[in-house]
Amino acid sequence: MLGRYFKYLLQSKTRYKVHSPFVFQFINEVLRTQADINYLNQYCSRLRSNETLIDIQDFGAGSRKQKSNKRKVKEIYKNSSSSPKKADLIRRICEFVNNNFTILELGTNLGVATYAISQSPKCNKIISIEGCPNLYEFSSNILSGIPNVELINSDFDSALPSILSEHSLNAVYIDGNHTYQATLDYFKIIQETEVELVIFDDIHWSEGMLNAWKEICSHEQYHVSVELFNLGILWRRSEQRKEHFTLRY
C-alpha cells in the first residue's frame, strides 16, 4: 500500500499541470475548497462513543480488521465508516456538476456519507443500500425524519437493476463489496444507464480493485476519469475528449 501511495504521489498532478478547464475547475471548487465539516460533528460524535453491540452479517469483501460478528458501533465507525472529511468530499463531488441530483449509494454502513450527502441543498434524494439487516436498522433509526433519504435493506446484486430502472439517477457512489468481479459487474449495469457520475471508493484496497479501476477507466462512455488515490471518479462528458487525471489531494 505504501509503495502504491508513493507511485500515486509521483504520478499525481497539481492544478498547474492540468489543461482541462473542467478538471481545473474541479480542483479549485472541490479539492481546494476549505471543507466545513461542522455539520457532521453531531452525527459522528454520537457514533464515535456509541457502545451498542450490533450483530454484523458480513457482505462482500468483508472487513480486514474485525473478526467477531458482534461489534460495537464505535468500532464499526472507526473501521468501516467514511471519515467526516471524506464524506464531505463525496458531497462536494456530487454537487460539482449537478444542481439537483439523485444519487444511489452502495453500502450505507452507519450512514456517515448518506447523512453528509443528504445535507447538500442540491441533493434531491439519496437512496442507500445496506445488506446487513442490523446495520440497516441502526442507520434507519438515526436517519429517520430526513426527507431526502431512502434506505434499502438488500444485497447490491438483487437491488441494483430495479433501482436503476425505476429511478432517474445522476450519480452512483460504490462503497462496498470491494472485489474485482463485483466492481466490474456493478459498473457494467450502471454504464448502460444515463448516470453521469460514478464514484468508486477504495480503488487501492487490493490488486483486484486497482485492476478493476484501470479497466473501468478505459471505458469509452465515460470521458473523464480522476484518481485521488483511494477514490476513483468518472464523468460522462461527451463534449470533452477522453482523458485520465491522477490528481494530488
Site string for ligand SAM, 20-59 (x = CB under 6 A): ---------------------------------------x
- Minimal distance, residue 43 CB to ligand SAM, in Å: 11
**Nearer to ligand SAM by C-beta: 18 or 116?**
116
Rank residues 79 and 165 by Cβ distance to ligand SAM and give the closer one: 79
Question: Could you give the CA distance from residue 232 to residue 221 in angstroms, rounded to a whole number?
Answer: 16
Q: Which is nearer to ligand SAM, 105 or 227 (CB)?
A: 105
Reading the block at residue 59, the C-alpha cell is 457482505
Residue with Cβ nearer ligand SAM (30 or 117): 117
Q: Which of residues 71-130 bind ligand SAM (CB under 6 A)?
A: 80-82, 87, 105, 107, 109-110, 112-113, 129-130
**Of residues 27, 134, 143, 176, which one binds ligand SAM by CB under 6 A?**
176
Among positions 12, 13, 46, 60, the unique one binding ligand SAM when judged by CB under 6 A: 60
User: Can you give the chain as a three-state secondary structure string?
Assistant: CHHHHHHHHHHCECHHHCCCHHHHHHHHHHHCCCCCCHHHHHHHHHHHCCCCEEECCCCCCCCCCCCCCEEEHHHHHHHHCCCHHHHHHHHHHHHHHCCCEEEEEECCCCCHHHHHHHCCCCEEEEEEEECCHHHHHHHHHHHCCCCCEEEEECCHHHHHHHHHHHCCCCEEEECCCCCHHHHHHHHHHHCCCCCCEEEECCCCCCHHHHHHHHHHHCCCCCCEEEEECCEEEEECCCCCCCEEEEECC
CB 141 to ligand SAM: min, Å: 15
Closest approach of ligand SAM to the CB of residue 152, in Å: 9
Q: Is 59 exposed, middle or buried (0-12, 13-18, 19+ CB in 10 A)?
A: middle
> Judged by CB under 6 A, which of 102, 120, 170, 177 binds ligand SAM?
177
Compute how many other C-beta atoms are within 10 angstroms of the C-beta atom of residue 99: 8
Instruction: Give the residue with the Cβ less far from ligand SAM, 109 or 170.
Output: 109
Q: Which is nearer to ligand SAM, 132 or 164 (CB)?
A: 132
For the window 125-154, what string marks contact with ligand SAM as x by the rule CB under 6 A?
----xxxx--x-------------------
Which residues of the shown chain bind ligand SAM in the complex (CB under 6 A)?
59-60, 80-82, 87, 105, 107, 109-110, 112-113, 129-132, 135, 155-156, 175-177
